[in-house]
A = this chain, B = another copy of it.
C-alpha cells in the first residue's frame, strides 16, 4: 500500500538500516508517516522489556547503560538503547549528537544505540518514546533501555513507559533532596549510587534512605490511590562503579526482582496504552490549535486586555470544534 511497507518488512527481517530510517521517522517524520508506521507495526510487534535509566547530568548514566548492555548481552538478549536529549524547541534537536557514546558495543549486531531529541512542545518524549520502543521491538530487540539526560518531566514520562526505572546518582553531583523535590525519587524503582568508590558515597546512600522513608510516609498519607500500586515495593539502594562494571549484575538482578514483584504488570500495560492514546490525541489537538487562524487575533486581544485569556481559549476551542468537523 505504501512506501513504509517494504521498510517495515526489512525491519522485521533484522535490517539495521531500515531500523535507523524508521527511527528517523519517529523523530522527524510527518504526522501521516508516523501514523502509518504505528498502524503497520503495532498489531504484530512483540512486547519488549523496557528499562529506564534516569539521573542528573554527570552521575554516569551512560556508563551504567554501557555496563548494563554488556550484562544483558551476556544473558543473550538483543538490546536497543534510546538516549533521550531533552530537545530545544528552537533547534529542534540536540545541539551536539553524542555519537561516540557506547562505542564499545559499536560492532555488536545485537545492540542498537540511538540518540533522540524529545520533540519540544509537540508532545516531547512522552509522544516519541512509545513509538521508538515499538520500532525497536518490531526489529527484534527484546530489551530496550531508555536513558534520559536532565532532571524533570522527561524522567516522569520515561518512568510511565518503563517496566523498571533506575535512578542513578553520584556523590557530590546534586543531592538526594534535589531528586526528591523534582519528583524523580518517587518514580524510581531502583536507586543506584554510582561512582561508589568516591568520597561521600556512604553519605549519599544514607540521605537517600532517609528521603525514601520520609517520602513513603508522605506518599502513603497524601495519595493513597497512586501509592497503592507501588507501596508493596521498596526501592533498593545499590552501589555501582559502572566504568569498571562493578555492581551491574546486582543492578540487573534488582530490576528482575522488581519486575517479578510488580504484580500490576497487566495494569501497567493498560496504563501505558492509556498514556499513549492520550498523548496522540493531545498531539492532534496541539497541531489543530497551532494551525488555528483565530489564535493570532485572539492573542492580540488578550495582549491589549480587551479579552481575558480564558474567553480567548474558549473561543479557540469553539472554533476548533467547527474546523474539526471535517477532518475526522
Task: List residues of chain A with CB under 8 Å of any chain B CB.
Answer: 35, 38-39, 42-44, 56-58, 85-92, 94-96, 98, 120, 124, 130, 149-154, 156, 173-175, 177-178, 180-183, 185-187, 211, 214-215, 218-219, 222-223, 226-227, 266, 269-274, 276-278, 280-282, 284-286, 289-290, 295-296, 298-300, 302-303, 305, 308-314, 316-318, 320-321, 324-325, 328
Looking at chain A's contact residues, the main secondary structure is: helix
**CB pair A313 B280 closer than 8 Å:** yes
Given A56-B56, A278-B295, 13 more A-B residue pairs with CB atoms under 8 Å apart are: A38-B309, A57-B151, A85-B181, A86-B151, A88-B182, A89-B183, A90-B187, A95-B180, A272-B303, A273-B299, A277-B302, A280-B312, A282-B289
**Shortest Cβ distance from residue A153 to the other chain B in the assembled complex, whole angstroms:** 5
Say whether B273 contacts A95, CB under 8 Å. Answer: no
Does the CB pair A222–B277 fall under 8 Å? no
Residue of B nearest to A58 (CB): B174
- Given the interface pairs A277-B309, A317-B328, the reply to whether A86 lies near B270 with Cβ below 8 Å is no
CA distance A193 to B328 in the complex (A): 52
Q: In the complex this chain forms, how many copies of it are found?
A: 2
Q: Which B residue's beta carbon lies closest to that of A295?
A: B274
On whether the beta carbons of A96 and B309 are closer than 8 Å, the reply is: no
Between-chain CB contacts (< 8 Å), 29 pairs: A38-B309, A44-B305, A57-B174, A86-B182, A87-B183, A90-B227, A91-B223, A92-B223, A95-B215, A95-B218, A173-B174, A266-B303, A272-B303, A273-B303, A273-B309, A276-B302, A277-B295, A277-B298, A277-B313, A277-B316, A278-B286, A278-B289, A278-B290, A281-B289, A284-B313, A284-B314, A314-B328, A317-B328, A321-B325
Report the bound CA distance from A285 to B277 in whole Å: 14
Residues A39 and B308 in contact in the complex (CB < 8 Å), given A299-B270, A321-B321: yes
